[in-house]
Amino acid sequence: MTDMTSGELQEAIGYIQAARHALEEGNGIDLKPLEIKIEHFCKSLGDLPPEQREAMRKKVIALLDDLDHLADDLRSQYAELGERLGKMNTHHRALSAYGNPSNNKK
């Protein structure tokens, strides 16, 4: 495995870990840098001789597993956000229907 391929892989894994941590903290993430890192990794992987590509198989599978975990985290955050927005919408409709009591106490 070339240093470039190894470096691209480590950068992608590091970005995935940082993204998952950011999601755990409730922060948003930008996936464009990860996309670029994965793209560079795939290009450098394609430049390797077949026997070196075969040696990378387990590392690529581990990278895919990390990406799957990130996708699960994103789906979970999306579902949680949808649930919160639904509750806020219900609360807003109730206030609209019955009026805001703080406005009626003048």
Q: What is the pLDDT of residues 47-106, one digit of tens each?
A: 888 888 888 888 899 999 999 999 999 998 888 777 777 777 776 777 777 765 555 554
Domain that holds residue 49: 3-98
How much is the CA Rg of the chain, to the nearest whole Å?
22
**Number of independent structural domains in the chain:** 1
**14: confidence class by pLDDT, cuts 50, 70, 90:** very high
Q: Closest by alpha carbon to 76, among 24, 2, 16?
A: 24
Residue 38 belongs to some domain of the structure: yes
In a domain, residue 87? The reply is yes
Find, among 40, 38, 45, the residue nearest to 19 by Cα.
38
Name the pTM for this structure: 0.70
Rounded (10°) angle between helices 3-24 and 32-46: 160
What pLDDT is recorded for position 83? Answer: 77
Query: Does the residue 105 lie in any domain?
Result: no
Instruction: Please indicate, yes or no, if residue 63 is contained in any of the structural domains.
Output: yes
- Cβ 34 vs Cβ 16: under 8 Å: yes
